[in-house]
Amino acid sequence: MIPEGRIYNVKLRFMPMVAENVAEVYWHDTQKFKRQENGSVIAEFRVDGLNEIAWWILGYGDQVEVLAPKKLRKKIAQVAANVNSINR
């Protein structure tokens, strides 16, 4: 990870289609995974900066939801909106 000078607690929900694959990989020293009854996985990370993790999240498309922080959720939503507006 490329440090940006600010620590964030990131919480993500990975949908059942990708949940097991995500939970089986070592991504980060701080990762924690909680399997949910519906087959999804809640992932938590403590990261320095949001840019690098944002690009990683975007790679999962609609199979991941940003639960926290709000700043990251907005960042991902803005990128998705920009992609949608490019295709009009």
Note whether residue 1 is domain-resident: no
Q: What local confidence, expressed as pLDDT, does residue 87 receive?
A: 56
Q: What is the pLDDT of residue 80?
A: 86
Residue 43 forms part of a structural domain:
yes
Q: Is 34 a domain residue?
A: yes
Residue 24 inside a domain? The answer is yes
The per-residue DSSP string of 8-67 comes to EEEEEEE-HHHHHHHHTS---TT-EEEE-TTS-EEEEEEEE-SHHHHHHHHTTGGGEEEE
The tens-digit pLDDT sequence of the chain (88 residues) is 577 799 999 999 999 999 999 999 999 999 999 999 999 999 999 999 999 999 999 999 999 999 999 999 999 999 988 887 765 5
How many independent structural domains does the chain possess? 1
Query: Is the residue at 78 inside a domain?
Result: yes
- Host domain of residue 70: 7-86
Residue 2 forms part of a structural domain: no
Residue 77 lies in a domain: yes
